[in-house]
Amino acid sequence: MAYPFYGKGLKFECQQCGYCCRYEPGYVFLSEEDLQALLDHTGLDRKEFIATYCKTADLGIEKRISIKEKPNNDCIFWDEKGCSVYEARPFQCRSYPFWPMIVENRESWEGEKKYCPGLDKGKCHSRGEIEDWLEKRVNQTLISR
């Protein structure tokens, strides 16, 4: 692999603005591990949890389970104190912003700053740490419907 632009690490520290959890509809996909952690956290069974907190994302080639939004487009797990399932939040949320499309190159990282004020702030995350998130993502199997 060529030396990546994040070879010396990337700074990121969440500024708790809530923007990535609120205001717009989107998809937060779940793996079996994500779902199990949320079941343990909420105490609900699978059927009840999916009926209450999930929607179907029709991606054309497949349909996946995603966390749904409230009528105001905030994530259904967002409350006035932040993420109400923080310890059990899905991999997609935990691994942000170390997603392939964001760390692909300097331009994509810089472009993401429009959406997240935490990029290039605070703690420096090493190349190893970033690649660990990328590798874990490859091993995720997301739940289809």
The smaller minimum CB distance to ligand SF4, of residues 21 and 54, is found at 21
Best CA proximity match to 45, nearest among 54, 36, 56: 36
The smaller minimum CB distance to ligand SF4, of residues 4 and 84, is found at 84
Residues that bind ligand SF4 (CB under 6 A): 14-21, 28, 67, 75, 77-78, 83, 85, 89, 93, 96, 116-118
CA 37 to CA 75: how far, in whole Å? 17
CA 48 to CA 39: how far, in whole Å? 9
CB of 47 to ligand SF4, least distance (A): 20
Q: Could you say which DSSP state residue 88 is in?
A: G
CB of 119 to ligand SF4, least distance (A): 7
The smaller minimum CB distance to ligand SF4, of residues 5 and 23, is found at 23
Q: Identify whether the C-beta of residue 144 lies closer than 8 Å to the C-beta of residue 31.
A: no
CB of 122 to ligand SF4, least distance (A): 10
Q: Could you say which DSSP state residue 143 is in?
A: P
